[in-house]
Chain A
Amino acid sequence: MEAKLNADKTDWSPFPYLDDQDVISVQRGPEPGGLPGAYRAFGETLRGLKTTFGRIIEGPVTIQYPEEKTPVYPRFRGRHKLHRFEDTGLEKCVGCSLCAAACPADCIRVVAEENDPENRVSAGERFAEVYEINLSRCIFCGYCEVACPFDAITMGHDYEMSDYNRSDLIFTKEMLLAEPIDRTPLRSEGE
């Protein structure tokens, strides 16, 4: 039979097969059983043993969760934070309710109030008298952050928000303004 290897014509094909054959035989490893099979099984067993032993030498990769926290990415959308101006200490939120309007889960409640010029709470004309986010309904989409014209609300990095009571999951303005008790570690650059 004129054996003309396909590999001569197209250099990309790794499988040499005959040009004039419609049916080609597939190359397989040795069938189980017999000397080649036993040799292969033995060799692969040793390779497997080496692989698992390598894990012992490399050591565990577990993150011991309650003690160590899983680091999150910088753009991770965790629990919200409300912000103040760093110089004056006034709240950035002016109670415009745009975040509440943008929220697809309808979980933000804002009640605005006029600012007292003597004793300002926020930098604008009005401030948020009540600002509540019901975290049991929030889907952490981040639309509120995008909607806010003053960058008053941003998504933080906290993800430990379980509680025993649904009502405890309604976060008030004071809770959102306060720094989280535990800071969540951030992943390092390029990780």
Chain B
Amino acid sequence: MLLGEVDFVESTGVMVVKSVLIFIGVFLIVPVLTVVERKLIGRFQARYGPNRVGPGGVMQPLADVGKLLGKQVFRPENAIAFLYAIAPGLVILSGILTLAIIPFGNVEDGVGLYGIDVSIGVLYFFAFSSFAFYGLLLAGWASGSKYSFLGAMRSAAQLISYEVSMGLALLGVVMMAGSLSMTSIVEAQGSIWYVVPQFVGFLIFMISGFAETNRSPFDLPEADAELVQGFQTEYGGMRFGSFLLAEYLEMFVVSGIAVTFFLGGWMGPGPPWLDPVWVVVKILSLIFVFIWVRATLPRVRYDQLMSLGWKVMLPLATLNVLVTAILVTVL
């Protein structure tokens, strides 16, 4: 079958309702994340961060969106209009599509607490998360600016150096669980979370995750110091906002995948209705790590990124997969 099998399907009505719920829930979290990130980075640098708009600065996202909406819709003269316009959409679409497979809970009362449970979960994730890079490439190429183009080239190079190790990092888990489906992988972690036996895989996945989401220390495509935001240079207003939104969405998704594969998904003490809460708590703590690392590490150089990807992560990931394969077969 072309699209892979779907393990568990509800009626269309239920599907629509839960999709809308997940969508709205996550899109409510994303603006909160932006302000939390800015406040946290402030704390990491011994300052307060935004605290002027609303009590304690909580209304900052609204002010930001208001500002972005008020900006003139602008397009450079030698940009390719159509591609320039759809690029931010592609990036967001990729985030939303990958969001669909993150399980927030098991099947309860005949409703699975996830967008969709495809039997090829991991492949689905890779297929649609790499989609975002098309958005970045198009954005950089269609802007008709050399900074954007450089940023886009960097993102392409980053993609090829990290996708492989990321896939290999997840492969260890897949071999241990014996399934590609997200729910089965979570269920296989009943006795022990895979972060313990697959610690190396977890580290490699998180490091690749930083590259995947274009976040510091691997934010080369949007290096604001030398490339003035790279592929986003020529974007303004809400289109720029879309890229920002997509970045946080991707961070959420990558954390979600890491939680599903390594941190036991919805597993946690308490009654079953607490499951989604556990997932969100785990995702948010991983996002804290993302922010923490951003506040700590400087951006790596282009060649350092390459050599880390090809000379350290790839051999390590391969070794991890080999050892796991041997252990899984022997034990």
Residues of A within 8 A of B (CB): 32-33, 38, 45, 48-49, 51-53, 55-56, 58-62, 64
The residue that B297 contacts in the complex, of A48, A56, A62, A64, with Cβ under 8 A, is A48
Bound-state CA distance A102–B40 (Å) is 52
Point out the residues of chain A lying under 8 angstroms from B46, CB to CB.
55, 58-62
Is B240's beta carbon under 8 Å from chain A?
no
A32-B304, A33-B311 known; A52-B295 Cβ under 8 A: yes
Range class of the B interface residue count: 10 to 19
Q: Is the CB of A45 within 8 A of B292?
A: no
- Is A56's CB under 8 angstroms from B307's CB? no
Q: Does B128 contact A (CB under 8 A)?
A: no
| B43 surroundings in chain A (CB, below 8 A) | 55-56, 59-60
Contact: A60 with B48, CB < 8 Å?
yes
Tell me if A52 and B48 are in contact (CB < 8 A): no
B65 on interface, CB distance cutoff 8 Å: no
**Which of B45, B293, B297, B304 is close to A55, meaning CB atoms less than 8 Å apart?**
B45
Chain A contacts for B272, CB-based, 8 A: none
B312 within 8 A of A: yes
In the complex, what distance in Å separates the CA atom of A61 from the CA atom of B120?
50
Assess A52 versus B296: contact at CB under 8 Å? Given A32-B304, A33-B311. yes
A55 touches B48 (CB 8 A): no
Closest A residue to B293 using CB positions: A49
- Please state if A62 and B47 are interface contacts (CB–CB under 8 Å): yes
Instruction: Decide: B48 and A45 in contact? CB cutoff 8 A.
Output: no
Q: How many A-B Cβ pairs are below 8 Å?
A: 40
Q: How far is the CA of A45 from the CA of B45 in the complex (A)?
A: 17
Q: Given that A55-B45, A60-B42, A61-B47 are contacting pairs, would A33 and B297 also be in contact in the complex, using a CB cutoff of 8 Å?
A: no
- A48: which of B47, B296, B304, B307 is its contact (CB, 8 Å)? B296
Could you list some 30 contacts between A and B, CB below 8 A? A32-B304, A33-B307, A33-B311, A45-B296, A48-B296, A48-B297, A49-B293, A49-B296, A51-B296, A52-B44, A52-B45, A52-B292, A52-B295, A52-B296, A53-B292, A55-B43, A55-B44, A55-B45, A55-B46, A56-B40, A56-B43, A56-B44, A59-B43, A59-B46, A60-B42, A60-B46, A61-B46, A62-B47, A62-B48, A64-B48
Q: With A and B bound together, what is the CA distance between A55 and B44 in angstroms?
A: 5
Instruction: Report the minimal beta-carbon distance from A55 to chain B, rounded to whole angstroms.
Output: 5
Interface centre among A52, A53, A56 (most CB of B within 10 A): A52
What residue of chain B has the Cβ atom nearest to residue A38's Cβ? B312
| Distance of A67 Cα from B302 Cα, bound (Å) | 44
Residues of B within 8 A of A59 (CB): 43, 46
For A55, list chain B residues within 8 Å (CB): 43-46
A117–chain B nearest beta-carbon distance, Å: 58
Instruction: Give a binary string over B39-55; 1 marks a CB under 8 Å from any A CB, 0 the rest.
Output: 01011111110000000
Q: How far is the CA of A114 from the CA of B45 in the complex (A)?
A: 61
Query: Given the complex, which residues of A lie within 8 Å of B40, measured CB to CB?
Result: 56
CB proximity of A72 to chain B, nearest CB, Å = 21
Task: Name the one of B297, B304, B312 contacting A45, with C-beta atoms under 8 angstroms.
Answer: B297
A residues near B293, Cβ cutoff 8 Å:
49
Q: How far is the CA of A33 from the CA of B311 in the complex (A)?
A: 8
- The 6 A-B residue pairs with the shortest CB-CB distance in the complex, in nearest-first order: A52-B296, A48-B296, A52-B44, A55-B46, A62-B47, A56-B43
Q: How far is the CA of A55 from the CA of B304 in the complex (A)?
A: 28
